[in-house]
């Protein structure tokens, strides 16, 4: 009894520094959860779990410092505190823009992308953010000034800390499983894991999942593809004979419309159309305008959109295929069209290593990659991540004319990117008046993009390429995250609920084909559906390809749009945060089972797509008539383009 009393006697200071470090870190993390993250707390149990989940992490990590003697122990606690605080703060900054949490693959991408993310990251930081390191500063001060007042812990202190850490975690996990069964096996959503288990435990879980993913490829074999083939055969969408082959033999130009959401189409600010040229295309007789297409990107954002568009597979739930799976085998659109005599190229006013594109594009089968090395990159013509859209398109036309026809190309725009600030003289369009700089500047940058697209169309006509070129334009992902819902509610004139936010994930998709009679298409679809739609217009049947998209022009189109977190939208019902709504009215349905069938379909389809990507299963399958490409055949070395061609 006496020994136990000595162990827990709070007047004995043997644990004081350790307990102080744990307590300060716990309080700071809980405050950060409530201030910075929108985790959707629905009940008292979830609030309690949010309160206690930092404790097990703090006890576990700081507990390792107790293996050392007093002087070294203090140093180790300070180092661990700083590292964990930095991880927390990195998540905060990342969440402010992406409304998501950092995963291990994203951390691995920093060497590829971080150097070019400076402007966006700085705009998301605030002087008050020093709060997230105040406990580190205080502990450092006490370690120096009050070192003698803290006694060295006993030999059993490490074991006690680990015992309390494990006990707390298991208690936490038990309550979490009670509120949401099969949390670790069923959840597609990182927000759920952070809400129930905490940011630090999520990072451990994420690391384990990535190790598991790496092992999956090594253990995969050709038999794993049978279930996917059966699912594909059962869900194949026949092309619409009215449109099949109508654009056969035409050049194809894809344009990625950075951060463009569909609410901006036909939107007027103070009586002025924000995107007058794109608006005109919605009424153009040679343009298919899809007004109910949703982005389906995850952490890879623009790169995820590219992956969806060209492979008709879902992106990874964590990280980016472009970074983590660039060595995989793919049956991408440029590789498919190579069998039909097409040459392919990408135009991008940034350097080729950004998003690992110089590696990934080889795996996709692109013949050429015109990156920043081909552009003048004048200081006044660059911003954020590279060339402004107008000079980018202007300098791309001579490069485009060097390609042998028919060609398949992609242009990646950059100007309409967070935080959306424009340089003086780029556009005279007014800013919004919500008082939120991000939302207000969005109107100006979207208008600038619209002007650049109109300029490109005119230059394409002047080049003689326009009449035989099909132009596919798509918004790549959201531009305004739900962190700006208060300002966005002023823009659209209504409160933005979880349901409404899901509806705002629409992105504009245009397929403009001169000479082809087109129309506005109201069917619900996702970016994953664009590839089969385009290939069918070109007269190429997709039935032998393992893809999950469905032709948007087909009367048999599936119409269920899957999101990476397991939610979905269809014309009848919508599931958001596992709650079922009537799509037409936005009302929460009394019979939640009305979403069950679609939810199961979405879950199954995401899992099958993950099987393909994580296990690299396409290496075991070759579609009829498809000639596999060898990435090693491509070298994106700068070519000497004749000066007279560049100046035409």
CB atoms within 10 A of CB 178: 10
What is the DSSP code (8-state) at residue 482? G
d(CA 71, CA 150): 10
Answer for the pair 180, 196: CB distance below 8 angstroms, yes or no.
yes
Q: Which residues carry out catalysis? A: 302
Listed in sequence order, the residues at least 6 apart from 318 whose beta carbon sits closer than 8 Å to its beta carbon are 103, 104, 105, 106, 190, 206, 209, 210, 298, 299
Q: How far are the Cα atoms of 134, 144, 227 from residue 138, in angstroms, in the given order?
A: 6, 10, 57
Closest CA to 282 of 48, 522, 491: 522
- DSSP letters, 498-515, are HHHHHHTTB--EEEE-TT
Between the two ends of the chain, the Cα-to-Cα distance in Å is 92
User: Which residues, 6+ apart, have CB-to-CB distance to 148 below 8 Å?
Assistant: none
β-strands 568-569, 368-370 pairing: unpaired
Instruction: State the Cα–Cα distance between residues 415 and 392, nearest whole angstrom.
Output: 10
**Helix 190-197 crosses helix 44-63 at what angle (to 10 degrees)?**
80
- CA 141 to CA 137: how far, in whole Å? 6
- φ/ψ region of 549 (left if φ > 0, alpha if ψ in -120 to 50, else beta) reads beta
Identify each DSSP E strand in 465-595 by its residue range.
469-475, 509-512, 520-521, 525-526, 561-562, 568-569, 573-576, 579-582
Quick one: residue 40, left, alpha or beta (phi over 0 = left, psi -120 to 50 = alpha)?
left
Cα–Cα distance for residue pair 299/105, rounded to 1 Å: 9
Q: How far apart are CA 176 and CA 193, in angstroms?
A: 9
Asked if 256 and 481 touch (Cβ cutoff 8 Å), the reply is no
Strand partners, 383: 386
- Would the CA dihedral through 591, 594, 597, 598 be positive or negative? negative
Q: Do residues 425 and 267 touch, judged by C-beta distance below 8 A?
A: no
CB 316 within 8 A of CB 298: yes
Each as own residue / partner, the long-range contacts of residues 196-199 (CB below 8 Å, 24 or more positions apart, any chain) are 196/46, 196/49, 196/53, 196/172, 197/53, 197/172, 197/173, 198/29, 198/53, 198/54, 198/56, 198/57, 198/172, 199/29, 199/33, 199/87, 199/88, 199/91, 199/101
DSSP letter at 590 equals S
Phi, psi at residue 512, to the nearest 5°?
A: -105, 120
Distance in angstroms (rounded) separating the CA atoms of residues 199 and 442: 31
Q: What DSSP string runs through 88-131?
A: HHHHHHHHHHHSS---HHHHHTHHHHGGG-HHHHHHT--GGGGG
| Burial per residue of 559-572, b for 16 or more beta-carbon CB atoms within 10 angstroms, e otherwise | bbbbbbbbbbbbee
């Amino acid at each position: 009894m006496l020994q136990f009393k000595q162990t827990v006697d709070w007047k004995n200071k043997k644990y004081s520094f350790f307990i102080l470090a744990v307590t300060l870190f716990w309080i700071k993390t809980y405050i950060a959860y409530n201030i910075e993250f929108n985790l959707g707390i629905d009940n008292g149990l979830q609030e309690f779990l949010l309160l206690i989940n930092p404790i097990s992490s703090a006890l576990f990590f700081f507990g390792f410092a107790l293996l050392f003697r007093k002087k070294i122990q203090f140093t180790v606690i300070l180092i661990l505190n700083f590292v964990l605080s930095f991880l927390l703060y990195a998540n905060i900054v990342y969440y402010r823009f992406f409304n998501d949490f950092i995963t291990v693959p994203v951390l691995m991408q920093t060497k590829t992308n971080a150097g070019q993310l400076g402007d966006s990251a700085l705009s998301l930081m605030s002087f008050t953010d020093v709060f997230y390191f105040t406990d580190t500063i205080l502990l450092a001060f006490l370690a120096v000034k009050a070192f003698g007042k803290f006694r060295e812990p006993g030999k059993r202190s490490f074991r006690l800390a680990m015992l309390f850490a494990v006990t707390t975690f298991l208690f936490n996990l038990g309550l979490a499983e009670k509120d949401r069964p099969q949390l670790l096996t069923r959840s597609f959503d990182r927000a759920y894991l952070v809400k129930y288990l905490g940011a630090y435990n999520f990072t451990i879980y994420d690391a384990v999942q990535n190790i598991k993913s790496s092992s999956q490829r090594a253990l995969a074999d050709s038999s794993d593809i049978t279930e996917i083939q059966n699912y594909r055969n059962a869900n194949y969408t026949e092309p619409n004979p009215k449109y099949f082959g109508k654009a056969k033999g035409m050049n194809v130009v894809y344009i990625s419309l950075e951060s463009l959401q569909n609410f901006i189409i036909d939107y007027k600010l103070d009586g002025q159309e924000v995107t007058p040229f794109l608006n005109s295309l919605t009424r153009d007789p040679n343009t298919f305008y899809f007004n109910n297409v949703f982005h389906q990107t995850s952490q890879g954002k623009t790169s995820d959109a590219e992956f969806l568009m060209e492979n008709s597979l879902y992106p990874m739930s964590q990280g980016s295929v472009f970074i983590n799976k660039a060595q995989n085998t793919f049956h991408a659109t440029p590789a498919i069209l190579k069998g039909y005599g097409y040459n392919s190229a990408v135009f991008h006013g940034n350097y080729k290593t950004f998003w690992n594109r110089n590696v990934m594009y080889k795996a996709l089968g692109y013949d050429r990659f015109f990156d920043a090395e081909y552009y003048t990159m004048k200081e006044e013509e660059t911003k954020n991540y590279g060339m402004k859209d107008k000079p980018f398109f202007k300098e791309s036309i001579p490069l485009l004319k060097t390609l042998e026809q028919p060609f398949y190309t992609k242009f990646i725009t950059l100007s309409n990117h967070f935080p959306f600030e424009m340089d003086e003289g780029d556009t005279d369009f007014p800013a919004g008046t919500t008082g939120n700089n991000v939302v207000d500047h969005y109107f100006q940058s979207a208008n600038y993009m619209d002007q650049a697209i109109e300029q490109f169309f005119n230059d394409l006509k002047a080049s003689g390429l326009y009449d035989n070129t099909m132009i596919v334009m798509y918004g790549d992902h959201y531009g305004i995250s739900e962190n700006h819902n208060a300002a966005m509610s002023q823009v659209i004139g209504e409160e933005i609920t979880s349901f409404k936010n899901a509806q705002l994930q629409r992105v504009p998709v245009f397929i403009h084909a001169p000479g082809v009679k087109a129309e506005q298409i109201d069917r619900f679809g996702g970016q994953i559906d664009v590839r089969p739609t385009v290939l069918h217009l070109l007269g190429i049947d997709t039935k032998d390809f393992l893809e999950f998209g469905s032709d948007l022009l087909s009367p048999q189109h599936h119409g269920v749009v899957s999101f990476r977190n397991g939610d979905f939208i269809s014309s009848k019902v919508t599931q958001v945060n596992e709650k079922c709504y009537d799509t037409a009215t936005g009302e929460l349905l009394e019979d939640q089972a009305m979403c069950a069938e679609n939810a199961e379909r979405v879950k199954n389809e995401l899992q099958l797509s993950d099987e393909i990507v994580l296990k690299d299963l396409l290496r075991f399958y070759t579609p009829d008539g498809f000639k596999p490409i060898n990435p090693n055949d491509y070298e994106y070395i700068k070519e000497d383009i004749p000066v007279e061609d560049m100046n035409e």
